[in-house]
Structure formats: structure tokens, C-alpha cells
Structure 1
Amino acid sequence: MSKISKPMKSAQDLIEHMKSKGITFNIVSPENAVRYMEDNNNYFRVASYRKNYNKQLDSNQKPVDKYINLDFGYLQDLAIIDMELRYTFIQLTLDVEHFAKMDLLKAIENHNEDGYQIVSDFLNSLSHNRREHIESELRQNQSSNYTKDIYNKYSSDFPVWVFLELLPFGAILDFYHFCAKRYQSKQMNNRFYIMLRCKNVRNACAHNDCFINDLHKNTAAYPAKYIVNKELSKI
């Protein structure tokens, strides 16, 4: 049996633990906080938002393990806001995926492709391992009630409009990058790198990850792209 360094605690035990860290229960009572953590959200997720708050400093200006002006109600609000953000972001990223497919089909049509050779050329351009992985992802459609019929009908020779409907977003982006290079399109290439960020956001939403558990300065993993900032500045 592995050594347990942090034993599992009850919700009531965790309330006392938070109190010892300077977290107050003025907005939400300890009793309601217990019910919230038992029925709505777990301590591990709720407590992650405490990183947004500063800690008290000792006489040497070094942080001690107590928070400044942090109430459990603030953590609860942040958890709810984070949930709403995930619901918004997942819808946005699904729209991005849809219009990426539309953009691809338009570019392919504008370059007078037949819709079949480009799929073959893309697969042949991949490394052995990457091609095997994508083909494995395609085969998973065989067991889907929603896509098995279309997969079985076209699996011997995918036209691009079917191919795109069966690929997961990561493979669609590989194909998008392939087409950007094939058509020497700077615009498509720029969109590809922006959509890589979108894929990360979509995956985080799908796995119910926390987005706003640390909003301190210089904590962003990636700086926003210039074109994104430019469009946001118009709002």
C-alpha cells in the first residue's frame, strides 16, 4: 500500500482547515459551505481559486500561510463564474471547429481539388505513427451510432467532405496546416496557430478544468495573438 501523505478529510474538517488559513465564513455560513462541498462542488476545486488572493506578510515581508480578505463566498462565486465560462467557451470552440471545416472546403474548392486526392496526399504526408493514430481515430467511428453508417460507406476512399466530419479537432488542425502549406496561404497558417489555442481551451472545457484559478499578472501560459487583440479592441 502506498504511503498516504494527505488523508481524506470530511467537509467539516476542511472548513476548519480553511479557517486556519485565514478564510472566513461571513458571506456563506460554515453549515452552508459544508452542504455546498458535499452536494455541489468538492474542496479541491473550490480551494484552487484561493490562488487569486494574496497572503499575509510577516515582519520580513515574506508570505505566511494565511489569506487576506478571503471569504468562502468569494471562492464559491469564482467556481460558478468558472462554470459559466466553460459553458461559453465550449460553444465558441465548437463554432470555431465548424467554421474551420467550412474554410477548408472553400479553399479546396477554390483550388479545383477533386476532394479525394487531397485526402490521400495528406495521409501520405504524415509520419508512420501519426498516420496510424489518425486512422485509428477514424476507425472509432465504426462503433458510433451517429457516424458508423457514413464511415462504412466511404471508408475505402474518403472524400474530403466526409473525411472532415469524421476527424477529431486535433486531426482537423493537422489537415488545416497541411492545406495552408499546400496553398501557401499566410492567412490559413495564422489561423492554424490561433486554432491550436482553441483546441487547448476546448479540451479544458471537455475535461471540466478550472480556468480562473490564478489570475495574477504574468501567469498566462501564452500571450494573446496580435490579431486576436486587434479584433477584441473593436468590441
Structure 2
Amino acid sequence: MTPVTILNNIKVTDPTTPLNNAYQGGPFSVSGESMTAQSYQISKPPATFEEQLQILKSRGLIVEDEDFAIRKLKKINYYRLSAYGLSLKRRGTYIPGTTFARIYNLYEFDRRFRYLILELAEQVEIAFRTHISYHIAHQYGAFGHLEAAHFDNVDYHQSFLYALTKEVQRSQEQFIRHHLDKYHGDIPIWVAVEVLSFGALSKLYSNMKLEDQTYIAKTNYRVPAVYLKSWLKCFAYVRNICAHYGRLYNRPLTSKPRLSREWKARGIPQDRIFAPICIAKQLIHDPQIWSDFLVRLEALFSAYHEDVELHRIGFPEDWEALLRKP
């Protein structure tokens, strides 16, 4: 079967799955019972912005400027903002002296921190797209990614083809339209990698033959394949948190990267964002990019040093030395 036939014979009939299978409307089942808008059991009525502020105050939060607080609650959802106060609570009430201003400062810190991490993820992602496409193209040809024989698991490869077909069909990129119109749907690997999600690419790498994984890992990153596989999965996860404006501060990561013995000996926690930052240092080989990141990171920490507890994001006391170590 030719590459064109393989790609064109994949018929996508299942509806696109929303992010994290999120509820999109219509009845759904809870404990086997179908629920509609009329049958919801409301445990408490919605609160106005003023009432939301009173709830925070009733839990011991100090609000020095109520007008400022109301303005922020009108722009930032209560549950998004209040999550930054979780580390400042004990048994449901805020630690004495905790202010609304500090919670907002933690939110602002995390927002700016997230952009720094997203830039790191971008550097890792774009480089990896190049490395995996270059290897597949030179080892197996322009359409090597379409042949199941080049991969470990046939079912995983079929899932990859479905993901690729969906992305090609919904893409509005000019280079995709160009290949569909001029080359009858032929999508070579160096084009395919530009429409696939980072998560899909990570899974594609994980399904490659061990010798191919090892070649990419050793040649481009000087690490064993088992480490690179874990790191790419983690970075895809972190990248998605950042892209959807998720919280990094005081958040345990569910995708934990494999750490070296040296990192483990230093007590670096696998489930905090400092671990992926250490990994980025291994994956980004441009010293200027890394130096610029550290300068901006230090400036951010300096600006919010009164509010941020670095251990909440996994940073040890000697974090600067670790990240500047050659």
C-alpha cells in the first residue's frame, strides 16, 4: 500500500474529543442518572463579586483595598484566583496576616513565570520536531512515518495516523493546502511534524524502534532514550498547562520526569516545575538562550521575593548554582 493510499484511506468519523473530555453541553450521566439543566441539584446559589469578597474575608483574608479586590475578581474567576491561597490556609482559614494583595501577587508571579516556562517548552519542542523528522526522513524516506513496519506497536501507530489525519483535515496552514492541492494529499514527515501536537510527537517517538530512539537521543541530546522519552512526555504535559493558562505555583505535576541519580541525590522533587527546568537545561544547547532565561527568572524572583515560597515550585536553596552549572 502506498503512502498516499494509507493516508487517504483513513476515515475520521468519530467526533473531535474536547480537551480532557470536558463537558460540552447536553445531558450527561452522574451515578447512572441522566442530568439536564432542569435536574441539577444546586447546593448553593451563585455569589456576586461583592459576596465572593465577603467569603474570602470570612475565612480570615485581610482585604486592605476592597475596590481593588472587586476589580480583580471581575477579571479573574474566583476559583482561579483563590487557588493561589491554598498554601496560605490551615484547616479552611487563612494564616493570620494573609492579604488579598499577596494572593493576587502570587497569581501575577505565576502568570509571568508561566510565559518563561512556555518559551523554554517552545525551544525544546521546535528542536525536537526537527530532530525526529530529520531522522525518519533519512532513515525511512519522506513517508516513513506512515509505515507501521518502522514502529514497535501497530495499534499505537494506527492511533498516530488518525491523529495526523485529523490535524491535516482541520489545518488552515498554507503549506498543508499546498501539499493537498499540488501533491494529491502526500504529506511528508517534515510537513507532518508541523501540524502534530507535541503530545502526538512524543507518543510517536515512544513508539519508534529502540535503535531509532537511541540514535535521536544520543546524537542530539547525549542522553539515553529512556530519559528522553520520559522528558518529552513531561514537557508536552507542562506545555499544555502553560498554553491553557494553568497554575504552576504550588502544583504537583502528574507527569513526573525521570531524574538522574545526581538530581535525586540533591533532593530535586519530581513532581514540581523545577525538575522540567533542570531537564530543559539538558535539552537546550544554546548558551545564550539559557543565559537569557536565567536573567529573566532571577528578575522575576526578585520582584516577588516577599510573596513567593520557592519550595512551592520545587526550587532548592542552591537553585542558581544548579542551573548555572556547566
Structure 2-normalised TM-score?
0.58
Structure 2 residue aligned with 1:137 = 167
CA RMSD after TM alignment: 2.8
Of 201, 204, 210 in structure 1, the residue corresponding to residue 241 of structure 2 is 204
Structure 1 residue aligned with 2:114 = 86
Of 122, 131, 145 in structure 2, the residue corresponding to residue 103 of structure 1 is 131
Structure 2 residue aligned with 1:76 = 104
Structure 1 residue aligned with 2:76 = 41
Structure 2 residue aligned with 1:190 = 227
The sequence identity of aligned pairs, in percent, is 20
5+ residue gaps, structure 1, are 56-62
* Alignment CA distance shift 1:64-1:81 (3 Å): closer
Q: Which moved more, 1:175-184 or 1:11-20?
A: 175-184
* Aligned residue pair count: 218
Structure number with greater CO (CA < 8 Å, separation at least 6) is 1
Per-residue CA shift, 1:113-150, capped at 9, x if unaligned?
Answer: 33323432358954245533432223222xx1444424
* Alignment CA distance shift 1:223-1:178 (3 Å): closer
Structure 1-normalised TM-score?
0.78
Structure 2 residue aligned with 1:13 = 51
Instruction: State the Cα distance separating 1:52 from its structure 2 match.
Output: 1.2
In 2, are the aligned partners of 1:54 and 1:67 still within 8 Å (CA)? yes
Residue type at the aligned position of 1:226:
L
> Partners of 1:87 and 1:155 in 2: how far apart?
39
Structure 1 residue aligned with 2:141 = 114
> Partners of 1:154 and 1:173 in 2: how far apart?
27
* Alignment CA distance shift 1:147-1:36 (3 Å): same
* Alignment CA distance shift 1:98-1:188 (3 Å): farther
> Partners of 1:37 and 1:113 in 2: how far apart?
55
Structure 2 residue aligned with 1:22 = 60
Per-residue CA shift, 1:16-63, capped at 9, x if unaligned?
Answer: 11111000023xx1121111212x3222211111111132xxxxxxx3
Instruction: State the Cα distance separating 1:224 from its structure 2 match.
Output: 5.0
In 2, are the aligned partners of 1:115 and 1:161 still within 8 Å (CA)? yes
Residue type at the aligned position of 1:200:
Y
* Alignment CA distance shift 1:180-1:124 (3 Å): closer
In 1, are the aligned partners of 2:81 and 2:107 still within 8 Å (CA)? yes
In 1, are the aligned partners of 2:88 and 2:94 still within 8 Å (CA)? no
5+ residue gaps, structure 2, are 1-37, 218-223, 261-274, 282-318
> Partners of 2:323 and 2:109 in 1: how far apart?
25
Give the 3-state SS of the residue equivalent to 2:207 in structure 1. Answer: helix
> Partners of 1:148 and 1:156 in 2: how far apart?
9
> Partners of 1:92 and 1:51 in 2: how far apart?
27
Residue type at the aligned position of 1:179:
M
Instruction: State the Cα distance separating 1:112 from its structure 2 match.
Output: 4.1
